[in-house]
Structure 1
Amino acid sequence: MATPTYAGDGSYPPSYYAASRAIIRQPVTLKGEVKADICVVGAGYSGLSAALHLAEQGFKVVVVEGASIGWGASGRNGGQVVNGLNASLDTIGRRYGEQTAQFVGGMVQEGAGIIYDWVERYGIDCDLRRGNIYAAYTPQHLRELEAKQTLWRKYGMDDHEMLDKAAIRRHIGSTVYEGGMIDHSGGHMHPLNLALGEAKALEGLGGVIYENSPVIKVDQAADQATVRTAHGTVTANAVLVCGNAYLGNVVPELTARVMPVSTQMVATAPLGKERAEALLPTGMCVEDVRYILDYFRLSADHRLIFGGGVVYGGTDPADVIAKLRPNIDKVFPQLADVKIDYAWSGNFALSFSRVPQLGRLGDKVYFAHGYSGHGVTGSHLFGRILAEAVRGDLTRFDTFAKLPWIPFPGGRMFRAQYSTLGSWWYALKDRLGL
């Protein structure tokens, strides 16, 4: 019988992704004493990326997961391969200097490249499609996208195509948008199947994954570090902590650095090929450019998957469908008669600066977290950088580790209330079109 965890028995929440996953695993729980070169805490994208990169280099890697593979944000997200960090390159340049902006600008498309490479190399069945669209509600939004295109060209990226009002209608069957921009290097996929496929690839290289094994403590001595669960231990030369929004207080030094924030998603009943393609004729995924944004795409079986909204502190709204249905009806009023088959919520880890954090606790424990809603690509990139650091190449790791992290005003107790006040202000600006 599975060990009870923060996720109950470790089962997936009732999402469309869990119902349509391509791989059904027989989880193995950590029991007894295990030794490894590297122990990774968390089997989401960050942990799987780091583990798979290290396994490809011949390291003996053990992953310890508190629930199931991709149980958290990695298996519940919008499935959109969106390049860049939450904080823009111009923001990074203003805060940390142009040299840092150049450094970040040179790698913001790398995470997507890792995904595309692994899907092809390991034959991962995750319904991958290329292209994502940023949609603009107002002329001001469109000007912001034009500025983004110019900025990204400055850093050597030229995969963006501007869309006017007529052009965006060829991609989205809605009249609400003023225009938009395509990122041809972006894309979308089934996120849980991506995580499960990466786990299978890791195990094919000799990696070991223990599920339903929540970590209760991470210790480190002069020569090795130890990850402890209720029923076992893993002793390794290094530990990579990749728990992100679901780490809890396992590593107390990291608890205050990020805040869990929930976002909500629904999947409609199957629409049929013709009706689905009328919504998104070119099959690209979409996100708008408001502060509190909507994002949507088609699934392989012709459902509309639609997400949006945030709840600071990581709590779930009482009724996800009631929260998102008005947003769907605004964009696609032609779907007013369509049933919602699945509704779910999940947490991502928000950093106050909106820049992901990399760091080290002592000599043996490394961490990565705080992707702030841009974790699909960011986690794959930062997993690679963690793997580089473990192998002795600290060039990119140290650049991020040296960036100052900013605590949330109000501390742990009041950080959610503070952020909620800020979101109200930005939501007002969204409604006023500012």
Structure 2
Amino acid sequence: MSSPSHVNSYYAASANDKALRPTLTGEHRCDVCIVGAGFTGISTALSLAEKGKKVIVLEGSRIGFGASGRNGGQIVNSFNRDIDYIFANYGDKIGQKMAKMAFAGSELIRHRVEKYQIDCDLKHGNLFAACNNKQFEELKAKKALWEAHGHNELELLDSNSIQEHIGSERYVGGLLDRKGGHIQPLNLVLGQANAFEALGGQIFEDSKVLRLEHGVPGKVITEQGVVVADKIVVAGNAYVFGLIPEVEKKAMPCGTQVIATEPLSKELQKQLLPTDRCVEDCNYLLDYYRLSGDGRLIYGGGTTYGARDPGKIEAIVVPKMLTTFPYLKDVKIDYAWTGNFLLTMMRMPQVGKIGENLYYAQGYSGHGVTNAHLMGEILSDAMDGDTERFDVFASMPQYPFPGGRMLRVPYTALGAVYYSLRDKLGI
């Protein structure tokens, strides 16, 4: 039987730690068992280990196999739905509490990178780029909104000043967030996994969970072993199936695709992104890009409903890249990959507890780098008795997609077509 492996991505090729952890065999006992070794699972595990808890993490494939090791690597603040939407739809009480958490995920990432000396090519600052005047007005409103809630490291850029950051004439303006940034995401999760193991934690790879047995304690059962735990966390996000169906029906896996060019010359890097910020545009089906630590352009965009082979990914993403940077037409593409993120109806994270001791967190809807790290700390606090932040998320209603599993994809694909048309028309 072959060992599990990551997809053939630039991140996997440049991973700092390629060691395969053991497969779970036999029976083990711990305080908390976590299903899933991505950002949510490893962030939760590390936070619990810092509190002195005995924690076991079970991963069906490899650490960071899912979205945590495949994403665009961008540290973007707030949630998919911004603070004003939360106030309008959930009220002032929840709005005030959520606003205090909107920028906490990026701060936690920086804290851990520094504390544990994680080598993940951390760079500071992200840009929101406006493709039309309507989007630019929305960025002005975002700046005012975030500043009203204490974020003062923002700079509005007009059509001239944005070209000091992006070598493209595509944009009418932008917003620079100095508290944002970018990283090699797989190395970030691997670095935290190493920190967790150094504190006594255990990670088992190639250990797919087959079922959960509820109770106190609960049991987590794999093909070759079982973990008996006082508390269980399901943190598989878009890559967990069948363990808690009542939660899985509330969200839908969606795919995105990414390419990485060959390493570029210093001159070309300076032409593309002179200040080395990462960028995402303001379209519904957005493009996002940045320079890697070794000078490649990593470019992603669009949404799919299922995996694609690398040739098709290039056919989708390269035209997007050339729309932004026409002068890259002769640049070689070294890697192309796809992966799933989890979308919720309200575009808000779904967090909750089932029975006395089964916790879950999922559905970051494209904001998983920061939100998943934050959620790990929140879950850890809740299991240690401090439920204040957990209760805020858990109190928010979680709606299933209409039509069940059969109709979720066509409904959402139809919505994507609608918003794509809006992007093109600038309305």
Contact 1:261 1:315 in 2 (8 A): no
Mapped partners of 1:370, 1:398: distance in 2: 17
Q: How does 1:164-203 map to 2 (within 5 A)?
A: 164-203=158-197
Mapped partners of 1:14, 1:88: distance in 2: 34
Secondary structure at the residue paired with 1:286?
A: strand
Contact 1:29 1:213 in 2 (8 A): yes
Mapped partners of 2:20, 2:180: distance in 1: 33
Map Cα deviations across residues 87-108 of structure 1 (whole Å, 9 max, x no partner).
Answer: 1111111111022111111111
Asked if 1:149 corresponds to 2:143, the answer is: yes
> Of residues 370, 373, 377 in structure 1, which corresponds to 2:370?
377
Asked if 1:139 corresponds to 2:133, the answer is: yes
Cross-structure match for 2:47: 53
Asked if 1:235 corresponds to 2:235, the answer is: no
Cross-structure match for 1:400: 393
Deviation at 1:250, TM superposition (A): 2.2
Matched to 1:401, the amino acid is A
Deviation at 1:10, TM superposition (A): 2.0
Asked if 1:303 corresponds to 2:296, the answer is: yes
Contact 1:39 1:236 in 2 (8 A): yes
Map Cα deviations across residues 255-313 of structure 1 (whole Å, 9 max, x no partner).
Answer: 2011000000000011122211210000000000110000000011111000001013x
Contact 1:165 1:177 in 2 (8 A): yes
Mapped partners of 1:339, 1:316: distance in 2: 20
Asked if 1:348 corresponds to 2:341, the answer is: yes
CA RMSD of aligned residues (A): 1.0
> Of residues 335, 359, 362 in structure 1, which corresponds to 2:355?
362
Structure 1: any 5+ residue segments left out of the alignment? 3-8
> Of residues 314, 324, 327 in structure 2, which corresponds to 1:321?
314
Deviation at 1:360, TM superposition (A): 0.5
Asked if 1:245 corresponds to 2:216, the answer is: no
Contact 1:217 1:251 in 2 (8 A): no
Contact 1:84 1:109 in 2 (8 A): yes
Asked if 1:332 corresponds to 2:325, the answer is: yes
Secondary structure at the residue paired with 2:31?
A: strand
Cross-structure match for 2:60: 66
Mapped partners of 1:392, 1:283: distance in 2: 42
Mapped partners of 1:301, 1:153: distance in 2: 34
Asked if 1:110 corresponds to 2:104, the answer is: yes
Matched to 1:311, the amino acid is T
Matched to 1:24, the amino acid is K
Mapped partners of 1:24, 1:340: distance in 2: 23
Matched to 2:169, the amino acid is T
Matched to 1:166, the amino acid is N
Deviation at 1:315, TM superposition (A): 3.6
Deviation at 1:316, TM superposition (A): 2.8
Cross-structure match for 1:23: 17
Cross-structure match for 1:5: none
Mapped partners of 2:60, 2:251: distance in 1: 19
Mapped partners of 1:409, 1:295: distance in 2: 29
Mapped partners of 2:95, 2:121: distance in 1: 33
Mapped partners of 2:288, 2:364: distance in 1: 17
Mapped partners of 1:251, 1:385: distance in 2: 20
Structure 1 runs of 4+ aligned residues shifted over 3 Å read none
Contact 1:285 1:298 in 2 (8 A): yes
Q: How does 1:72-91 map to 2 (within 5 A)?
A: 72-91=66-85
Count of residue pairs the alignment pairs up: 426
Mapped partners of 2:358, 2:411: distance in 1: 31
Normalised to the residue count of structure 2, the TM-score between the two structures is 0.98
Structure 2: any 5+ residue segments left out of the alignment? none
Q: Give the % identical residues.
A: 50
Cross-structure match for 1:6: none
Asked if 1:218 corresponds to 2:212, the answer is: yes
Mapped partners of 1:310, 1:316: distance in 2: 11
Normalised to the residue count of structure 1, the TM-score between the two structures is 0.97
Map Cα deviations across residues 173-196 of structure 1 (whole Å, 9 max, x no partner).
Answer: 011110100000000010000011
Mapped partners of 2:412, 2:307: distance in 1: 14
Contact 2:20 2:62 in 1 (8 A): no
Asked if 1:207 corresponds to 2:207, the answer is: no
Q: How does 1:267-306 map to 2 (within 5 A)?
A: 267-306=260-299
Secondary structure at the residue paired with 1:407?
A: coil
Contact 1:296 1:306 in 2 (8 A): yes
Secondary structure at the residue paired with 1:165?
A: coil
Mapped partners of 1:431, 1:193: distance in 2: 36
